[in-house]
Amino acid sequence: MLPRSTARLVTSTNCHAPSTASSSVAAVRHAHLSPASTLPSGSCYAAAPACPPQPSFHLSSPTPSTSKEDPIWSEPSYVARYRDPKNHDRPLVRPAYVAEPSSPASGRRRLTTSSVLSSTAPASTSTSASGFSPFSYSTPSRNLSPPLPRPSSVCSTGLNGSHRRRPTRDNSPRHQRLEMERAWSGGEASPPIPTESHHAHGQSKRPNYALLYPGSGSQYPLMASFLKNYTAAQQVWKEAEESLSAFESWRRSLKLDQYEGEIGELGRILDRTEEQRSHEPSLHSVVFDGSQEELTRAANAQPAILVTSIAFTRTLEQNFGLDVAKNASAILGHSSGEYSAAVASGAIDFADAVKLIRLHGMLTTHALSLPSINLSTSFDTPAARIPQMSAVVLNPGHSHDEVVQVVRKIRAEDNVGPQHDRGCAGTVEVASFNSSAQIVLSGSREGIMRASEFLREQGIASRAADLPVSAPFHCSFLEPAAGGMRVALEATHLNNPLIPLVSNLDGTMINTTHSLVSNLVAQISLPVRWSKCLRNLAQDHIDRLVFLGPGKALANLARRDATLREKHSDQPSRTEVLSVATDADLEAFAELWKEETAQL
């Protein structure tokens, strides 16, 4: 039985569902991507572990007897990830190799964990004895081109010539999160806050800065658990739980089930699942006592990231006495992080935002079951109907436009689009432009896998990573969810932002409640242009980016782009990137702030 290989590159899905958003949103969507299509058959893009191929999917791969390495799909943990839909987004850690005499016959090494990594990447689909395994790492990271061979020995030699065993890996949730972020950004983890960096350009005062908040995919168990030691964070969690306790009555007051079309159908789906949700653990328990799988569900992940982000903000403001939001020149959030940004700017009350973002997660997830979309995470679902998001790291010298053209070509060739009997099967879209070197793809597993294969063949990208999310966000076919969120936002009291918000759609400033609602609705079905947002900040002379919240992947990408701009400019880059995600970051940032305040 052949494995179903899935290659992951960043892109978003573009299937058309009955429009519930404004006509202007639809116009922008069609201007961005043309009708969907699929990649050439036989695509064998290495990605996360996969299930056996479906009848309509033709893949070839090395057999256990001919592969140079033990086939990754032979490991129970590899199969288990997709056998159980709950495990689909579980981050698998790289196993630690231990010193063990190699058998002369096999020359193979033993692994200490069941999460197996293949040492090779998909060079081709050939089944010859010399072919590589079609899979790379069983973690969310994959190489899309053959890597250098690993050394035969797993031990290193000390100064005295003795052999020493490599230390085992840290398998804590925080370490796993850092491993995933390295994969997404294509680089190393974000370094500590450089408390002296603001003096590098002779600055005598605090530079103009922006606050930036993370979005979907930033969650991990026990994230920011150290904040529980601060009274401000404790109060944030208390307010969040009180708000969520009234979520169902608030949701029913919206009467989504009484609307016509797919908005009404979504409302009735939520009504049917109310009893099941009433027995679920609290959000606090999910974050600090639950599993990665449970936390990854959008209805949990998105409010958890919001609460954690605001806990960081209020801890700095109330426990450290730093008015970080009040003094910011701009505030922005990535994807669902726009709700965190809206709270920090005073545009949305925190308790209202918690309800809104949970509804956002539920609508985007349940929308997949609508007939016009027809995607599912069930085990027996064909690859063409399994939702997925993947981040693609571009090769040097290649651009966003090349990826967009590939996606358009794929969609045009196969004419993949919403059809009565097909839904959004096989679709792929660009979901986010995160940096000059990273794009996120969204859609179906088959569509992303085929796009990845094409990008590899063209030399545009050679590395991809699956994102820990439960739905393909920022896709055109999520317009029914966008319609439901418009109803909720228009029923919520909003304020004009006290600090300008930066729109994910085009990097422009949001200063009114009307533009805020339009932006939050449209971003559900349109791509995030994050890299453009950061470029606009630099053009507006905002020289410091303060990333506030769980995860450091976005800070890694921003720092790398700032370094590249400096290399290609006659003038030194004035942009400094600070990430406040750990207890050490929190204290270092507070020290930096107070030092600068003393100089004002």
Which two three-digit tokens encode residue 205?
A: 């005062």
Neighbours of 323 (CB within 10 A): 11
Cβ-based neighbours of 511, under 8 Å, separated by 6 or more: 496, 497, 500, 501
Identify the pLDDT of residue 169: 55
Query: With b meaning 16 or more CB within 10 Å and e meaning fewer, what string describes 446-465?
Result: bbbbbbbbbbbeeebbbbbb
Q: Is the pLDDT of residue 136 over 50?
A: no
Q: Is the pLDDT of residue 509 over 60?
A: yes
In whole angstroms, give the CA distance from residue 232 to residue 107: 57
Neighbours of 260 (CB within 10 A): 8
More confident residue, 59 or 585: 585
Q: Determine the average pLDDT of the residues in 155-162.
A: 38
Q: Is the pLDDT of residue 142 over 80?
A: no
Identify the pLDDT of residue 366: 94
Of 193-207, 422-436, 528-542, minimum mean pLDDT range: 193-207
DSSP per-residue codes, 444-483: EHHHHHHHHHHHHHTTSEEEEEE---SS--S-GGGHHHHH
Q: Determine the average pLDDT of the residues in 421-446.
A: 88
Q: Is the pLDDT of residue 408 over 50?
A: yes
pLDDT tens, residue by residue, 314-323:
999 999 999 9
Neighbours of 108 (CB within 10 A): 12
Identify the pLDDT of residue 205: 74
Identify the pLDDT of residue 181: 59
More confident residue, 559 or 91: 559
Quick one: how far is CA 178 from the chain centroid? 13
From 341, 365, 302, select the one nearest 547 (Cα to Cα).
341
Highest mean pLDDT among 370-379, 514-523, 552-561, 563-572: 514-523
Q: Determine the average pLDDT of the residues in 369-383.
A: 84
Q: Determine the average pLDDT of the residues in 467-486.
A: 94
**CATH 3.30.70.250 in the chain, residues?**
383-414+422-466
From 515, 506, 558, 552, select the one nearest 533 (Cα to Cα).
506
Using a 10 angstrom Cβ sphere, with 0-12 exposed, 13-18 middle and 19 or more buried, the burial of residue 148 is exposed
Of 155-159, 206-210, 273-277, 290-294, minimum mean pLDDT range: 155-159
- Residues in a beta bridge with 406: none
CB 559 within 8 A of CB 534: no
Which two three-digit tokens encode residue 487?
A: 């109803």
HEC string for 364-392: HHHHHHCCCCCCCCCCCCCHHHCEEEEEE
Q: What is the dihedral of CA 89, 29, 437, 337, to 10 degrees?
A: -60
Q: What is the mean pLDDT of the chain?
A: 74
Of 84-88, 231-235, 251-255, minimum mean pLDDT range: 84-88
Q: Determine the average pLDDT of the residues in 162-191.
A: 55
Q: What is the DSSP letter of 165?
A: P
Its CATH class, for the domain covering 383-414+422-466, is alpha beta
In whole angstroms, give the CA distance from residue 373 to residue 358: 21
Q: What is the CATH number of domain 173-196+204-376+475-598?
A: 3.40.366.10
Query: Per the confidence metrics, is the pTM higher than 0.75?
Result: no
HEC string for 210-253: EEEECCCCCCCCCCCHHHHHCHHHHHHHHHHHHHHHCHHHHHHH
Please say whether the dihedral angle defined by the alpha carbons of residues 531, 535, 537 and 538, taken in this order, is positive or negative: positive
Using DSSP's 3-state secondary structure scheme, residue 489 falls into: helix
More confident residue, 73 or 412: 412
**Kind and range of the H or E run holding 465:** strand 461-466
Identify the pLDDT of residue 296: 94
pLDDT tens, residue by residue, 514-525:
999 999 999 999
Which two three-digit tokens encode residue 341?
A: 């940004």
Q: Is the pLDDT of residue 27 over 80?
A: no
From 91, 249, 238, select the one nearest 174 (Cα to Cα).
91
**CATH 3.40.366.10 in the chain, residues?**
173-196+204-376+475-598
pLDDT tens, residue by residue, 178-228:
665 565 555 554 445 443 443 444 455 789 999 999 999 999 999 999 999
In whole angstroms, give the CA distance from residue 190 to residue 176: 14
Q: Is the pLDDT of residue 99 over 50?
A: no
In whole angstroms, give the CA distance from residue 77 to residue 324: 44
Identify the pLDDT of residue 573: 60
Q: Determine the average pLDDT of the residues in 227-250.
A: 97
